[in-house]
Structure 1
Amino acid sequence: MTHEITKDFRFDAAHTLIREIVAEGSRRIHGHSYRAQVTLRGTVDPTSGMVLDLGAIEQRLTSARDALDHRFLDEVPDLGPATMENLASWIWRSLRADCPQLVRVTVYRDSAGESCSYWGE
């Protein structure tokens, strides 16, 4: 039987963004509070009763969170423009090797009611 488990982490970060709509404020350095949700899918291990221990997931998320939290996203290597789309795929790439059960990464800006999900390459 297949199950999905999720783990959220939060980070605050600043960035600039070149865009055509609401352009002026986006070009200036500004920040957001983000929530990222990582979803893993798999079968339950009969011994542990878990797809993967949430503590193990927390350990794997630490480096991704540390690379983004209280950072200027324009300077994060391999991110590109700091959009929710690029954040979701960047988090995916940073976790995929250590989380083979990874099926989805969703980045939320809860204060604006916005989100973006990425299902992998």
Structure 2
Amino acid sequence: MYKIEVESAKKVIKATISGMLSLDDVKNYQDELITTCSKLNISEYVLIIDAREQKAMSQDAIPYVEQIMKFYADTPFKKRFSVMLESAIAMSQVNRVGKKEVELFELVTSVEEAYAKI
């Protein structure tokens, strides 16, 4: 499951990702994220990724995860935060797929911590 929320007043895009996403979920997330960002003056927005409850993904989803990670890196967000994943396996997978992109995010322990740092 995923949810993308835009908080215009705070200039925040918050993406919440949990569980094990199917290939279709990953594709839909990618499409929705790109569409959402294309409607905003993105350099004014902070991106918060809350994927702490995300599980490892199937291998067929990995190419799309790589594209999403590249989108995170190539999009000029004002700041990027990521809540640390609870699953060590999922965190290892994310680091393996997007090592360079992960380094662009400030890791936080909660969404509230990210908001406090904006």
| TM-score normalised per structure 1 | 0.25
Which structure: greater strand fraction? 1
Which structure: greater helix fraction? 2
Higher relative contact order (CA 8 A, sep 6+): 1
